[in-house]
Structure 1
Amino acid sequence: MKHDGETPLTPPAAPSGAAAVFGDRIELAERFAAILADTGVSHGLIGPREVPRLWERHVLNCAVVEDAFPEDARVIDVGSGAGLPGIALAVARPDLEVLLVEPMLRRTTWLEGVVAELGLRSVTVHRGRAEELAGSLSAPWVTARAVARLDKLARWCVPLLEEGGTLVAMKGRSAAEELGEDAAALGRLGLGEGVVTEHGGDVLEEPVLTVDLRLERRRERGGAGRRSKGPGSRRAGSRRRRAGRAGGEPGRQD
């Protein structure tokens, strides 16, 4: 995928910590970074100034959140944009089924091209706003990165969550502050008490923070809805899993 008549920007080399996250799929991750530096920039999905920090700020930054999801999880990425975090997660975790939700046609067209070029058979692209797709798409796990403030983001994402599902919202340093300030609004949506979780502290200078919120009850007209069990416990022992994946089939592209 090339610029039209322009020289593509060159992404930096993958940092040492990337191999620990991507395992034997590190070359696939490097191809994704190269696409972001090329047509990701020309399509306005990534700013040219972001290219030197593509790994730490974008690719690796998103991939480390993979430890939030159990084996073979179905995950919806709301407002996927440049495939962040959805494509990064799918590269790091070929067992995940990832649904990219994006309302803009030019972005969904770009995403479909990237998914095809990387051979990510476990990823599908869905054009539309989250609220428009409610009822036709759902999953036990929904994630989003820097799309909106927590209470607004939750209003978009909750309709896509299955009963007992979990919203994994990628946030910056203000994660705990937002969670505290928006607690009442989140509760009215049927979400339980949130937890701020750190990811990637062993491979990034600054760990990534997520606010994890479980849908304890489905909000219904005229009633509180019924409670249900969660989709499963958080994965543990990510280092053990990565070690096992590193010994798998070389160059596999799902």
Structure 2
Amino acid sequence: MTAETDEFARALIEGAADFNVRLTPDQIARLRKYHQLLTVWNARLHLTGPCSPAEFATRHVLESLFASEHLPAGARVADVGSGAGLPIIPCLIARSDLSAKLIEASRKKAIFLREALRATRIEKAEVIAERFESLPTPEVDVITCRALERFGEMLPQLIAWAPPGSTLLLFGGPELSARLSALGIEHEAVPLPRAKRRLLLVARR
């Protein structure tokens, strides 16, 4: 496991500049702990698809951190379909000013998320083991969502659920951008570094 976490950490450090990310040694250590924990739980819960430690660092962690520049100071965030904790756990590690609600319908994945928050010493966050559509509209500034079952189908409900004036940070491809346009939602499609088709979609509610 040490060799894998070393590879993960090297990829974080080497790729950080491409994603406009700066990490302290403590943050890197906490992200290593997160990767190590996720690797153990992944065998049971299939939190992410198979990938090397370096790919996990780039595609999952650095892509998540790329979104943090769109999070205002002191932002209250609702992360929908948290699953593996992406993008919100890396953002909470990098930004101590943030607070978050991690909304995950799977009870087993919610247990992992609580353990990940504990292991990485994140305090200003809570896990809610419910479907987002069964919850009242949260008092938050930003909605993040990286992976949601039937994303295109659920998108109108997610937009309606988001509080007025909030920002939605969504990860997807051109198809999701087109779906937003079809729904009349103005948004910015920001290409993710080192990715051919993946986008960060910044929409206003």
* TM-score bracket for the superposition, by shorter chain length: 0.7 to 0.9
Structure 1 position 151, deviation (Å): 5.6
Is the contact made by 2:15 and 2:58 (CA closer than 8 Å) also made in structure 1?
no
Counterpart for residue 209 of structure 1 = 199
Which structure would you say has the larger Rg? 1
SS at match of 2:163: strand
Aligned to 1:18: 16
Q: How does 1:8-87 map to 2 (within 5 A)?
A: 10-11=4-5, 12-14=7-9, 15=11, 16-18=14-16, 21-24=21-24, 25-47=27-49, 49-52=50-53, 53-87=55-89
Correspondence for 1:100 among 99, 102, 109: 102
CA drift at 1:143: 1.0
8 Å contact kept, 1:171–1:210: yes
For residues 176 and 158 of structure 2, the distance between their equivalents in structure 1, rounded to whole angstroms, comes to: 18
In structure 1, distance between residues paired with 2:190 and 2:153? 18
Residues in 2 aligned to 1:154 and 1:78: alpha-carbon distance in whole angstroms: 14
Do 1:175 and 1:209's aligned partners in 2 also have CA atoms closer than 8 Å?
no
Provide, for residues 102-156 of structure 1, a one-character-per-residue CA deviation record: whole Å limited to 9, x for no partner. 0111111111111011110122111101111124x33121010131434622413
1:140 is aligned to: 141
RMSD: 2.5
Equivalent pairs, count: 195
* Native 8 Å contact 1:171 1:211 kept in 2: yes
Gaps of 5+ in 2: none
Code of the aligned partner of 1:166: T
CA contact (8 A) 1:131 1:156 kept: yes
- Structure 1 contact 77–101 (Cα < 8 Å) conserved: yes
* Structure 1 residues 8 and 134: CA distance shift in structure 2, 3 A: farther
Contact 1:140 1:163 in 2 (8 A): no
Any conservation in 2 of the 1:141–1:167 contact (CA below 8 Å)? yes
> Could you say if the C-alpha distance between residues 61 and 207 of structure 1 is closer, same or farther in structure 2, counting changes exceeding 3 Å?
farther
**Aligned ranges for residues 180-195 of structure 1 at < 5 Å?**
180=181, 183=182, 186-187=183-184, 192-195=185-188
Distance 1:79 1:214, change over 3 A: same
Query: Following the alignment from structure 2 to structure 1, what is the Cα–Cα distance between the partners of residues 8 and 82?
Result: 24
Aligned partners of 1:175 and 1:196 also within 8 Å = no
Opposite residue 39 of structure 2, the aligned amino acid is: A
| TM-score of the superposed pair, with normalisation by structure 1 | 0.68
Structure 1 residue 41 displacement after superposition: 3.1
Unpaired runs of 5+ residues, structure 1, are 1-6, 216-254
Structure 2: how far apart are the matches of 1:94 and 1:206?
31
Secondary structure of the residue that 1:113 maps to in structure 2? helix
Report the secondary structure of 1:63's partner residue: helix
Aligned 8 A contact 1:171 1:209 in 2: yes
- Paired position in structure 1 for 2:189: 196
Contact 2:174–2:197 (Cα < 8 Å) also in 1:
no
Kept after mapping to 1: 8 A contact 2:142/2:167: yes
Q: TM-score, normalised by structure 2?
A: 0.82
Contact 1:21 1:63 in 2 (8 A): yes
